[in-house]
Amino acid sequence: MPIRSRHLCTLAAAVALTLTAPGAVAGAAGQAPSADLREVLFVGNNWDGTADVIESGGDFGRIGRIDVIPDKDRRMAEINANPIRWIYFMAIRNTVGEGHDQFVDDMYSTPDGTSVVVSRPSFADVVSLDLATGRVNWRFPVSGYRSDHMAVSPDGTRVAVSASTSNTVHVLDIETGEEAGRFTTGDKPHENVFSRDGRYIWNMSIGEVNTDLDAPWLDWTKGDRKITVTDARTFQQVKVIDMRERLDAAGFAEYSDAVRPAAFSPDESKLYFQVSFFNGFFEYDVATDRISRVKTLPKNPDTSEDRTTWVNDSRHHGITMKPDGAKLCVAGTMDDYATVVDRDTFEHGPLVPVSKPYWATVSGDGESCVVSESGADRVTAIDFTTGGKTVSVPVGDHPQRVRLGHVKEGWTGPSAG
């Protein structure tokens, strides 16, 4: 049976040391890579249906590119032959896709650097692609009609993927694509995070983000939004966190409870998370089960205050943490900037101009924050120490998720289609 609010403090204390920050476990995850592997960053170009592979630090130069939809003709034939699937395909294009198909949401490489696993929202599936040939190793159709964010287990053997229209998370064997288990979530499951020891999966559901019922008093129309913590072995729910209750108790009743990207502190006692419509983030104390601080970031005066114009209910979308826990990096999506925030003082640094930043992650050496500029088709590195931009590199159309991973040494791209 789920453990409800009155038991949360006890459970939180028990599991606080098992949490992990998104990005703390690298894209390939698991054990230390062998000498024949090269650390890289995978950049998913959602509207292109490609993924750029770039250096994980330094000049962040591009190494190669992957076609993540080599089976596009076959998938489109299936969709066109099924009226229900076609309706959902077009709905994704015209709502969350902003008039474009969504061909890559998230991706992780396998520990041996031979394959990359990709969630493809418009095709409602997850595929493994051979990095040497570009061919599909396996394909897993998710329940419902759209796949979304993923997470990889610390040992690199499993991936969890959100099936956003069925309120389900599937957990798959990364080598075979076979389903190890699944669990139910709140409405529209989004971000997934494995605990450091691999025992738990945290899922954040964001509810309905594709309507124009965006006024604060209509927040109740957005659905059942919650954090679901599940046992990664039994797939049984062990904890539910309703941030509505915690926000209300802290005096933040006017804010949405749709938890978006999140980052855990290195000691895994604090969760930093963004919510819909808010230019800032909250700090949640895991052991005491309460909101402990809030950081409000500047608004861009050129950003419309009409909430219906903000993409998928986002104002800010993307947050990550320097490995030593001293700094946070925040993507101010609709405000067209990214900034570094001191975690102790909550003071923010320079507002680095970037175009519709959609994600933030940490470079391989831990010294830079890397944000995807979906409005300019590039990724930009920001120095954690100075808070200033160091370099931008061009990538494909509408980059979103950026993940650390590995490829074989000497890899420059697939050799065959």
Tell me the pLDDT tens digit for each residue of 353-362.
999 999 999 9
pLDDT band at 33 (very low <50, low <70, confident <90, very high): low
Mean pLDDT of 368-381: 98
Q: Looking at the predicted structure, is the pLDDT value of residue 397 above 70?
A: yes
Residues 6+ apart with CB under 8 A from 29: 108, 111, 152, 153, 154, 155, 156
DSSP string, 43-91: EEETTTTEEEEEESSTT--EEEEEES-TTHHHHHHHHHT-HHHHHHHHH
CA distance 161 to 379: 24
Mean pLDDT of 137-162: 97
In the block, which residue shows the tokens 């040494």? 409
Positive or negative: CA dihedral 44, 46, 52, 55: negative
pLDDT band at 268 (very low <50, low <70, confident <90, very high): confident
Q: Looking at the predicted structure, is the pLDDT value of residue 321 above 80?
A: yes
Residues 6+ apart with CB under 8 A from 69: 49, 75, 103, 104, 120, 123
pLDDT for the residue numbered 66: 97
Mean pLDDT of 333-344: 98
Q: What is the pTM of this model?
A: 0.91
Q: Is 247 helix (H, G, I), strand (E, B) or coil?
A: helix
Most confident of 25-34, 90-99, 317-326: 317-326
Q: In the structure encoding, which two tokens stand for residue 304, read together?
A: 């419309």
Residues 6+ apart with CB under 8 A from 400: 44, 45, 46, 104, 105, 358, 359, 372, 374
Q: Looking at the predicted structure, is the pLDDT value of residue 18 above 60?
A: no
- Do residues 389 and 358 touch, judged by C-beta distance below 8 A? no
Nearest to 104 by CA among 315, 331, 372: 372
Positive or negative: CA dihedral 64, 51, 319, 142: negative
Structure confidence by residue, pLDDT tens digits, 88-136: 999 999 988 899 999 999 999 999 999 999 999 999 999 999 999 999 9
Q: Looking at the predicted structure, is the pLDDT value of residue 21 above 70?
A: no
Mean pLDDT of 75-85: 97
Mean pLDDT of 306-314: 93
pLDDT for the residue numbered 390: 98
Give the other-Cβ count within 10 Å of 309's Cβ: 11
Q: What are the Cα distances from residue 330, in Å, to 124, 176, 226, 342, 384?
A: 29, 35, 22, 11, 11
pLDDT for the residue numbered 336: 98
Number of H helices, E strands in the chain: 4, 28
pLDDT band at 224 (very low <50, low <70, confident <90, very high): very high
The single-letter DSSP state of residue 348 is: B
- Do residues 43 and 54 touch, judged by C-beta distance below 8 A? yes
Indicate the residue type of 52.
D
More confident residue, 417 or 360: 360
Q: Looking at the predicted structure, is the pLDDT value of residue 287 above 70?
A: yes
5-408 domain in CATH 2.130.10.10? yes
Nearest to 343 by CA among 264, 261, 227: 264
Q: What percent of the chain has pLDDT over 90?
A: 86
Mean pLDDT of 266-278: 94
Residues 6+ apart with CB under 8 A from 173: 157, 158, 179, 180
Q: How far apart are the first and last CA of the chain?
A: 48
Mean pLDDT of 227-237: 97
pLDDT for the residue numbered 96: 87
CA distance 107 to 238: 27
- Do residues 119 and 51 touch, judged by C-beta distance below 8 A? no
Q: Looking at the predicted structure, is the pLDDT value of residue 23 above 50?
A: no
Q: What are the Cα distances from residue 338, in Å, to 4, 46, 415?
A: 36, 20, 37
pLDDT for the residue numbered 410: 95
More confident residue, 284 or 13: 284
Indicate the residue type of 259.
V
Q: Looking at the predicted structure, is the pLDDT value of residue 5 above 60?
A: no
pLDDT band at 16 (very low <50, low <70, confident <90, very high): very low
In the block, which residue shows the tokens 């170009």? 45
Mean pLDDT of 22-50: 73
pLDDT band at 17 (very low <50, low <70, confident <90, very high): very low
pLDDT for the residue numbered 35: 74
CA distance 203 to 199: 13
Which pairing describes strands 389-394 and 399-408: parallel, antiparallel, or unpaired?
A: unpaired
User: In DSSP terms, which residues pair with 230 in a beta bridge?
Assistant: 201, 237
Could you tell me the residue ranges of all domains in the chain? 5-408
Indicate the residue type of 337.
Y
Structure confidence by residue, pLDDT tens digits, 234-263: 999 999 999 999 999 999 999 999 999 999
In the block, which residue shows the tokens 């993927």? 161
pLDDT for the residue numbered 265: 93
